[in-house]
Amino acid sequence: MNKKTVRDIDVRGKRVLVRVDFNVPLAEGKVTDDTRIRAALPTIRYLIDQGARVILMSHLGRPKGQVKEDLRMAPVAARLSELLGQPVLTAQDCIGPQVQAMVQELKPGQVLLLENTRFHEEETKNDPEFARQLALLGDVFVNDAFGAVHRAHASTEGIAHYLPAVAGFLLEKEITFLGKALESPERPFAAILGGAKISDKIGVIENLLGKVDVLLIGGGMANTFFKAQGYDVGESLVEDESLDTARDMLARAGGKLVLPVDAVVADAFSADAQSKVVEVDAVPAGWRILDIGPKTVDLFKEKLAGAKTVVWNGPMGVFEFPKFAVGTVEIAKAVAALEAMTIIGGGDSVAAVEQAGLADKMSHISTGGGASLEFLEGKTLPGIAALADVGQT
């Protein structure tokens, strides 16, 4: 990683403005999943220990420029206080004279959490004046919100034009793991892609095909490839507008791109639907594919055997329904058992691995679904690009 980190700057006594990703689920005024808060703790604790005055900022939900009482940051501050073992102060806004006064009163080692940045519509518009107002609160800027770096927003990209800007430890870890997989993977290098739509992952498939030794495709996106091969997939989800793309990819990929050979089909899209296992070219009329079948699980395990680097993004079926989660869980077990660098790339695949109780068996669980996808696609992520490079003064 060629970006400066919080280790490369002197933060003692300074106002350190940290962009975190505290976009966490809430219910009845309490945080129901604190994974993202915990992920930011190493950076926050380091700054506290170094005697910095720590000012945290994050978005929460999609208030679209309006103040929404159910999207205030207070429940997040309460959970963070418990995790840190010290009080976390909260501001009623994220800019303005009152917030500036609170920041001025902060003592070294104290933590202040600003109000939801998306209560201001200028945040998502990356408004320069709003970014400047945020920057008035800090002496340096630390971005530790990997889940938001693919967005050019005021608190992720704009602010870096006004303050010295470096990466936090979580962002450093994400860039290091994902970067190594793409730039210098230990081989064999296998990628597993799932999820509903091929259109969401065309760029990722294109980028990975040139880098991996094998690319396994599961989930709803496999259906479009089946139809491109001329199979009737019944009522399965298919993106007809992507059929030509699928045909082109199959023609260019050779044996590198591996599709399921059998599937678990259902007579309805529901948790208690009737189901059976069929070959992928024998889906009954009126039925739909909801998971990979046992032969495919064995095939995918065979293809993964001996892999030294594995990147996985997207479940193999409708894992929210227990009956159709078997394929995803079996692949998770296979990946967890490998002696390899294993990276789980955000969103549903993370949820599936956690549901299977295998998260601690993986080398790295990414905290950013969209960001990890765009990273794997080879795109420039604005929140990372804005940070100072090593050697830059």
Q: Which two tokens stand for residue 153?
A: 């927003």
In Å, how far from its chain's centre is CA 379?
A: 15
Asked whether the beta carbons of 309 and 331 are under 8 A apart, the reply is no
288 among known catalytic residues: no
Residue found under tokens 């970067």: 179
Catalytic residue among 195, 293, 346, 347: 347
Give residue for tokens 């995790």.
83
Catalytic option among 45, 68, 125, 197: 197
Residues recorded for the chain? 393
**CA dihedral for 259, 265, 269, 270, sign (positive or negative):** negative
Query: C-alpha angle 132/36/108, rounded to 5°?
Result: 55
What gap in Å lies between CA 245 and CA 254, rounded to an integer?
Answer: 15
- Neighbour count for residue 18 (Cβ, 10 Å): 25
Of 3, 129, 114, give the one whose Cα is nearest residue 54. 114
Q: Which of 61, 109, 203, 370 is catalytic?
A: 370
CB 73 within 8 A of CB 117: no
Q: Is 361 a catalytic residue?
A: no
The reply to whether 36 belongs to the active site is yes
Written as one string, the DSSP assignment of 113-163 is E---GGGSTTTTTT-HHHHHHHHTT-SEEEE--GGGTTS--TTTTGGGGTS
Dihedral angle computed from the Cα positions of residues 75, 81, 82 and 85, in that order, rounded to the nearest 10 degrees: 180
Contacts of 351 (CB under 8 A, 6+ apart): 319
Q: Are 148 and 122 in contact (CB under 8 A)?
A: no
Segments in the chain forming alpha helices (H)? 35-49, 74-84, 97-105, 128-135, 169-183, 202-209, 221-228, 243-253, 294-304, 326-337, 347-355, 369-376, 382-385
Helix (H) or strand (E) holding 365: strand 364-365
Interstrand relation of 140-143 and 275-279 (parallel, antiparallel or unpaired): unpaired
From the list 36, 72, 151, 227, the catalytic residue is 36
Question: Catalytic: 347?
Answer: yes
Catalogue the active-site residues.
Answer: 36, 197, 347, 370
